[in-house]
Amino acid sequence: MNNLNSTSSQYRSDKKLGSFVKNGDTYFRLFAPDASLVSLVTFSSLEDNIGTEHIMVIDEDGIWETKLEGEKYGLYYGYKIKHKKHKSNGSICIDPYSKAVATYNTYLNPGRSIVIKEGNYDWEGDEWVQRDWRDLIIYEMHIRDMTAHPSSSSDFPGTYQGLIQKGKKGGMNYIKSLGINTIELLPVQEFSNIEIPYQDSTHADFNTWNPYERNHWGYMTSSYFAPESYFSENTKRLEWNKWYGASAKQVNAFKDMIKSFHKESIAVIMDVVYNHFSQYQLGGLKEIDKKYYFRSDDKGNCKSESGTGNDLRTEAPMVRKMIIESILYWIKEYHVDGFRFDLGKLIDWETVEEIIREAKKINPYVIILCEPWGGGYDPEGFSIRGWGSWNDQIRNGIKGENPVNGLGWIFGHWCGDNNPERIKNYVNGTLVRDIKGLFQKKEHSVNYLESHDGYTFGDFIRIGLKDVRYDDIIKDIDSNALLSPAQLKLNKLGALFLFTSQGITMIHSGQEFARSKVIAKSKVKDKNVGKLDHNSYEKDNETNYINYHHSDFNKELIDYYKGLILLRKTFPAFRRAIYENISFFKVYDNDFALGYHLQYDNDEFVVLFNAAKKVDEEFKLPEGNWDILVNPSNAGIVKLGDASGKIVVKPVNGFVLRKMK
C-alpha cells in the first residue's frame, strides 16, 4: 500500500518514465504517487475493450514499474489506476510519456499508448537550423489550414505530407516563395479534437458556446511527447467515433516534415501548451493524480486562470520534469528548432529558467518565445530570463486594440496611452531603457500585428475603415477579400513599420494578402455564418483554410511583403543596428509622421512614414543622394528611383531610401 502524500513537493526521481526497451525487454514506468494500485493493461487490438493486466510495483518516489519480456514495439497499452481516497471511473489512462497515441474521436478522447522504437529514423545528416534570433522572420500557421482548401491542389490536404508536397500551390512551396525563414506551428502535440456536445444539458459543463463541438487550433494538449495523429490522416474531415493514429505513422510523418523544411533552411517552432491540459480527457492526468498534477483551490477544485478549466501545477518537481523532458525530447528526437509557450506566465519562474537552461545545453541557438499572459502580463520578467515574448505594445500601438473603438497609429489615432515617443520606442525594439519599454534586448521582442487570436490584420482594417461592420453578413466573399485602394495602403503601412523595426518579426498565415476570415456555411447551424470571425478556434472548414485564389486577388500586397522580407534579409541594418545609430527626424505639426536615419557598417538608410489621414509631410533628407527601395507601390532591394534634398510623403504612405555609394 502506498502511504505517500500526493501533494508533496519532495518527490524527485531521475528514472526514465514511459515505455522503453532495454536489454531485449520492454519497461513501463508511471509516476502516480496517490495510487493504491496500478496495473499495466495491454491490448492486441484497438477494438478490444478488455486487455491483459500486469500488476505494477511502486518505489519510494511514487514510480510504478513493470516489464514484459521481449521488444514490444507496436503494442497498445494504458494504465488502470485505483486510488485510496476516491473511486476510479475505470478508465484506461494514457501514459503521460507516450511517444505515439491512438485516439478514439469523441469529446472524451479515450486513447491507447503505443510502444515505439526511437532513434531509428534516417535524418540524412539533418541538424537544427541555427539562426540568430534577430534574423528570424516567423510565419505562424496551422498544419491543416495551409493545404486543406481545394485551391492548394494538394494530394494530401491538411496533413504533414501535404505541407511539404512539391509542385503544389500551398504549403512549403508558398512559404518559400515569400522568403520566410521560420515557421511557427499551432499546436501539434497530440490534442483533443472534439469538445463536449452542444446544448446537452445532461453534461455538467453546459456547452452554449461551440456548436461545432471542435477544437481545431489544438490548445487542448492530451499528450506532451506525441505528434498529433489527425494531421497524418489523409481525410477530408475529422470523423467521429473512429480511431486515429493506430499505426503511429504520425511519428515519421512529423519528422519528414521537419527534415523537408530544414533542407530549405527554414526553422520550425512548435506552439506548446504546458499551462493547462485537455479538459475533458478520459484517462488523462486527472485520473492519474489530480492533486499532484493540477493547481487547486481550498475546496479541491482545479484552478483555471488559463480559462480552460485545469491549470497545470508546473512548480511540482515531477510536473516540471515532464515539461523539461518533453521539450528536450522534441529537440533531440524531432530536431525541432524552438518553441512558443502558450500563456507562459502560468508556468512558474523556476521551470521557465530551467527550460531555457537545459534546452540551450543541447542547442545554443534554440528559440524560446512565449505569450507572456496568464495571471498577469510580464514580458520583462521573461526577458530578464532570456526568453522572447510577443509584443502586444507594438501590436496595439500600430494597428490598435480593437477595430471598432480602439484604432491605432496607422489609422491616425492613438490607442490607449500611445504617443509619438512610444512609436519611436517600437522602432528600437521596445527596450526597457525607453519609457514603458519591456525588453532587455531587442531580440526578445516578437513584433507582430496579427496572430491566430483576434481579427486578421486585413479584417481589422476592413472594420476600422468602416468598409465592413463587425456584425455585417458578407454576401460576396470574393469581393470582400479584394482590397480597396484605402485598405491596401493601410496594409502596406503596417507591414512597412513591422519589417523595418528592430526585433523578431512575425506574421500570421495569410496576413501577406490581407486574409479575411468569413464564417463559412457548413452542416453546423451557426447564427453567425457570413460574419467576420475573430476567434475561429473551433472551425475546421473554409473559415480557417488558406484560400489561394484570394492570394491571387491581392498580388500587389503579396509582392510588397516579399519585397519587405527580402529587404530585411538583405540588409542587417533593419535587424542589427545599435540603439545609438538610429536617429529620429524632428517633425513639427504632424504627430503621425515619423522618420529616422539608420546606420549599420557601411550602409545608411532613411525610413519615412506618414500615417496622417489628410496631411502631406515633407522630410529633409540627410546630405547625399539616395536610392528609393520602398515607395507607396513597391518594396524590395531594386532601385525604384532616387532622391536628394527632400521628399514629400503623402498620407498613409511610407518610403525606405538607401544612401548611394
Phi and psi for 560 in degrees, rounded to 5?
Answer: -65, -45
pLDDT on residue 202: 84
C-alpha cell at 88: 476510479
pTM of this structure: 0.97
Report how far residue 140's alpha carbon sits from residue 649's, in angstroms, rounded to the nearest whole number: 32
Say if residue 10's pLDDT is above 80: no
pLDDT on residue 5: 45
pLDDT tens for each residue of 307-318: 988 999 999 999
Say if residue 285's pLDDT is above 50: yes
Say if residue 9's pLDDT is above 80: no
Percent of the chain with pLDDT over 70: 98
Phi and psi for 493 in degrees, rounded to 5?
Answer: -65, -45
Give the model's confidence band at 37: pLDDT under 50 very low, under 70 low, under 90 confident, else very high: very high
The reply to whether 580-659 shares the fold of 18-114 is yes
pLDDT on residue 599: 97
Compute how many other C-beta atoms are within 10 angstroms of the C-beta atom of residue 373: 20
Instruction: Give the CA-trace dihedral at 412, 414, 419, 424, to 10 degrees.
Output: -60
pLDDT on residue 154: 95
Domain boundaries, given as residue ranges, for the chain: 18-114, 128-194+204-263, 580-659
pLDDT on residue 204: 78
Give the model's confidence band at 201: pLDDT under 50 very low, under 70 low, under 90 confident, else very high: confident
pLDDT on residue 170: 87
pLDDT tens for each residue of 135-153: 999 999 999 999 999 999 9
**394, 434, 654 from 414: Cα distances, Å:** 12, 18, 19
Helix axes 317-334, 285-293, angle to 10 degrees: 120
**Strand duo 243-244 + 137-141: pairing:** unpaired
Compute how many other C-beta atoms are within 10 angstroms of the C-beta atom of residue 595: 22
Report how far residue 310's alpha carbon sits from residue 300's, in angstroms, rounded to the nearest whole number: 12
Say if residue 286's pLDDT is above 50: yes
The CATH H-level (homologous superfamily) assignment of domain 580-659 is Golgi alpha-mannosidase II (2.60.40.1180)
Say if residue 6's pLDDT is above 70: no
pLDDT tens for each residue of 376-415: 899 999 999 999 999 999 999 999 999 999 999 999 999 9
Is 536 in a helix, a strand, or coil? coil
Class of the domain covering 18-114: mainly beta
First to last CA, the chain: 81
Compute how many other C-beta atoms are within 10 angstroms of the C-beta atom of residue 428: 22
Mean predicted confidence (pLDDT) in 514-522: 97
pLDDT tens for each residue of 542-593: 999 999 999 999 999 999 999 999 999 999 999 999 999 999 999 999 999 9
Report how far residue 261's alpha carbon sits from residue 181's, in angstroms, rounded to the nearest whole number: 9
pLDDT tens for each residue of 152-161: 999 999 999 9
Greatest Cα pair distance, the chain, in angstroms, is 86
HSE (side-chain half, CA atoms, 13 Å) at 424: 21
Say if residue 85's pLDDT is above 90: no
**CA Rg, the chain, in Å?**
26
Judge contact between 418 and 408, C-beta under 8 A.
Answer: yes
**Strand duo 338-341 + 267-272: pairing:** parallel
Say if residue 455's pLDDT is above 50: yes
What amino acid is encoded at 353 in this protein? E
